[in-house]
Structure 1
């Protein structure tokens, strides 16, 4: 890379005007090293604030509609013997789980097609447009949710907000754009840690939002927190416009609505490459699919699992539990940095699998609050796996294919979310009668597959090295 290319790609200060990055004459005061980290932080903050509150709103609205007053005592008490056999409670659980499935299903299906257009398009026109668009879509979704709550409309109208958000790329496009941006501006040695920093931003934002959301909902209800969600998404779009410097060096006008974008994603996984690239892309994508499926599936059920007996948590404890779940991102970042001094990335990922599996097993049998938090604690290194997989995928493709790659990764994650919602939200009501925590045990078993895939690839990559030593000796 020529030195003259560096200012346009990396060294341009946020807010500066340049030949490749026209910008309003307004200087952003953040350090030059800060790029898309605030984007992913703010978007995740809004999403983490919105997610548990939406589930609780569904629970409360459905409870009111069918006349269920609940066995939960808001002061913290719990009826451990009768609640699990209450047919009305089980009906509320089933309806809440099913409506979560319908709402998420609509958004994910629409989002899959949008992301496959926007990701390859960003390789030509730049990352900033595909970051601004989903931020606006997320704000529109929050606005529709507010209308539903103000007017007390049927919860099915939430589906309209999810579809509009899906058209603009949804949160998956924010992830794809941010990870593509980091791949543009980082070298191969630092990429895993830079990706892990982004995922730590996800965790910190989620932790803060979860604590705030639980207390705020208890004090003021649902509407005021959703106004904050709306405002944060608007601020995110403004930050991208004024403060994010374009990372794509050679931008050129390209049509958005063209089949070439879908074809580029298809070619990425079908055209053979060096060092068995095609096979590794498919295997790492399968591993990511399973990891995200388990993560999203378990996460969707945590709130319902904690609301009902025998735990019977109130909104405060749900907030702390969600904070502990998101703290996993931050503790995993510290663990990744520590383990990288003595282990290859793949073996660090294996430690993450052990942490995740053990935590899910404990949660599957948790009948008390201390045991539930023990399960959260055991999962504190669970999120080291995803930055390792993302980094390995990014290193398998060329610089001009990063947007295409991460759009396909976003599609994998979108399909994972769809699969997790379909499998886990359908499995939970079916298994209530014999084991309430069975979906978590199922998820722990499912994680053995990606753990085996990553370990097998690492062993196969090291084998030629050992054979060379044997030939020399």
Structure 2
């Protein structure tokens, strides 16, 4: 493509910032406010339940969250707060999941940049609205309004879809796997920065100024996309106008790409990878929905303690991912599926420990048990990209992103409902036993993918290698 020639002429360091820098900024914004949004909803729910006469008691959630009184208050508030958070997840996920079915194939014809601009604009508007709403003492359900613009413009779902398609456009089989791993490392670094800085900003300046910082980060990422990121899909704009987003012919082409037999297509491996990625998102969304609530009710942690734990968790995951990809992949010659198996077993062990957690040190044991869990996503995406002909990789990533968005909408609320039904001190935690069960299923799928690869006589090389697969 003409635009790809432009990208090739950029300095190497610039090529490695095209998607990584704006994603780092937007993930920093997300991490800055993620736990604080949950805390704000819990706090405002407390004020609503206790009423004007007693809502001053809710301050103990910030001043002495580990006290018996605070823990009892959390248990009173969490059932309603968890339902609000569940609806927040649905608002953020339903429409983007539907849109992603159309926008992936649409971007193959009309460009990636419109999707990127739309998704980053939605995130910016969301943080601006949260900044405004956090200044008022409003009903906690009102906060859902802030997430509507982001949903209408595609949200994180379309943002990731456009990003993976963009990275596919500017890489080949030799470079794609490592570039995906590097991208996810940058994504994780953004999360670490936000998670560690967010609670400090919140403690010193409160909700509103924290959302101002998130708005600034998302605004800068939007400006970077607009002015510094070139298009990768060439169209003659003088003779061709943008087509309708809701073109069902595009969806038909996407489905045919992943179902009809053709040279270079391993359908069993393809769908195994897609299902695995979707189940990983289910687990991730479930932990996002109930993780803070669980540690608050079980261990009495506040936002600062929980954010410190999550930040350290992601930092260790980044190290584990780099070691897993480079050391096991390049030095020991492990295949992509072998690396994925190691990651899945690591994540399963961590989930089981979490389910049986009673003490804070138990949670910190989880960090080391699950240190290789971050290897799973890039290795599975690497296998996915090698399961189809090169010209169809973009479409397949579109399908994968759509399924990743849709399945959590069906399964995600289960986490909230189970948690609300079996609140701590119920032991062990059923929500993390559910995650462990899903991870066992993922291990079985990885074995199935390996068998399919061997059967089709497709040779896969390690993720860290510079070679590519041969069919």
TM-score range, shorter chain: 0.7 to 0.9
2 CA distance for matches of 1:434 and 1:319?
Answer: 24
Displacement of 1:368 in angstroms is 1.7
Displacement of 1:399 in angstroms is 4.5
Name 1:317's counterpart in structure 2.
Answer: 305
User: 5 Å matches for 1:83-122?
Assistant: 86=72, 88-122=73-107
- Report the secondary structure of 1:162's partner residue: helix
Name 2:450's counterpart in structure 1.
Answer: 458
Displacement of 1:249 in angstroms is 4.7
> How has the CA–CA distance of structure 1 residues 10 and 352 changed in structure 2, closer, same or farther, with 3 Å as cutoff?
same
Q: Does 1:305 align with 2:294?
A: yes
Moved more, 328-337 or 53-62: 328-337
Moved more, 54-63 or 116-125: 116-125
2 CA distance for matches of 1:326 and 1:416?
Answer: 24
Displacement of 1:277 in angstroms is 2.9
Name 1:336's counterpart in structure 2.
Answer: 325
> How has the CA–CA distance of structure 1 residues 64 and 10 changed in structure 2, closer, same or farther, with 3 Å as cutoff?
same
Query: TM-score, normalised on structure 1?
Result: 0.87
Displacement of 1:74 in angstroms is 5.5
1 CA distance for matches of 2:204 and 2:457?
Answer: 61
Which residue of the other structure, out of 3, 8, 13, is the alignment partner of 2:5? 8
Displacement of 1:152 in angstroms is 2.6
Name 1:131's counterpart in structure 2.
Answer: 116
Name 1:34's counterpart in structure 2.
Answer: 17
2 CA distance for matches of 1:169 and 1:403?
Answer: 18
Q: Does 1:267 align with 2:256?
A: yes
Aligned length: 445
Displacement of 1:135 in angstroms is 0.4
Deviations 1:203-230 (A, max 9, x none): 1100110011111111211111111111
Q: Root-mean-square deviation (CA), in Å?
A: 2.6
> How has the CA–CA distance of structure 1 residues 165 and 436 changed in structure 2, closer, same or farther, with 3 Å as cutoff?
farther
Displacement of 1:168 in angstroms is 0.8
Name 1:471's counterpart in structure 2.
Answer: none
2 CA distance for matches of 1:295 and 1:7?
Answer: 34
User: 5 Å matches for 1:74-89?
Assistant: 78-79=66-67, 86=72, 88-89=73-74
Name 1:190's counterpart in structure 2.
Answer: 175
Name 1:277's counterpart in structure 2.
Answer: 266
Name 1:368's counterpart in structure 2.
Answer: 359
Displacement of 1:329 in angstroms is 4.4
Name 2:377's counterpart in structure 1.
Answer: 386
2 CA distance for matches of 1:77 and 1:168?
Answer: 37
Contact 2:35/2:303, CA 8 A, preserved across alignment: no
Name 1:17's counterpart in structure 2.
Answer: none
Q: Does 1:173 align with 2:158?
A: yes
Q: Does 1:248 align with 2:224?
A: no
Q: Does 1:438 align with 2:430?
A: yes
> How has the CA–CA distance of structure 1 residues 440 and 100 changed in structure 2, closer, same or farther, with 3 Å as cutoff?
same
Deviations 1:157-211 (A, max 9, x none): 2222222211111011111111111111222132221111111111110011001
- Report the secondary structure of 1:324's partner residue: helix
Contact 1:9/1:185, CA 8 A, preserved across alignment: no
Displacement of 1:311 in angstroms is 1.0
Q: Which runs of 5+ in 1 are unaligned?
A: 15-28, 467-473
Which residue of the other structure, out of 19, 37, 44, is the alignment partner of 2:27? 44
Displacement of 1:373 in angstroms is 1.3
- Report the secondary structure of 2:224's partner residue: helix
Q: Does 1:349 align with 2:340?
A: yes
Q: Which runs of 5+ in 2 are unaligned?
A: 459-471
2 CA distance for matches of 1:249 and 1:57?
Answer: 45
> How has the CA–CA distance of structure 1 residues 363 and 124 changed in structure 2, closer, same or farther, with 3 Å as cutoff?
same
Contact 2:342/2:372, CA 8 A, preserved across alignment: yes
Displacement of 1:134 in angstroms is 0.5
Displacement of 1:247 in angstroms is 2.3
Contact 2:26/2:217, CA 8 A, preserved across alignment: yes
2 CA distance for matches of 1:420 and 1:383?
Answer: 22
Contact 2:43/2:58, CA 8 A, preserved across alignment: no
2 CA distance for matches of 1:32 and 1:275?
Answer: 29
Moved more, 199-208 or 315-324: 315-324
2 CA distance for matches of 1:385 and 1:287?
Answer: 9
Contact 1:115/1:411, CA 8 A, preserved across alignment: yes
Query: TM-score, normalised on structure 2?
Result: 0.87
Name 1:24's counterpart in structure 2.
Answer: none
- Report the secondary structure of 2:266's partner residue: helix
Q: Does 1:209 align with 2:194?
A: yes
> How has the CA–CA distance of structure 1 residues 7 and 452 changed in structure 2, closer, same or farther, with 3 Å as cutoff?
closer
Displacement of 1:240 in angstroms is 1.0
Contact 2:263/2:389, CA 8 A, preserved across alignment: no
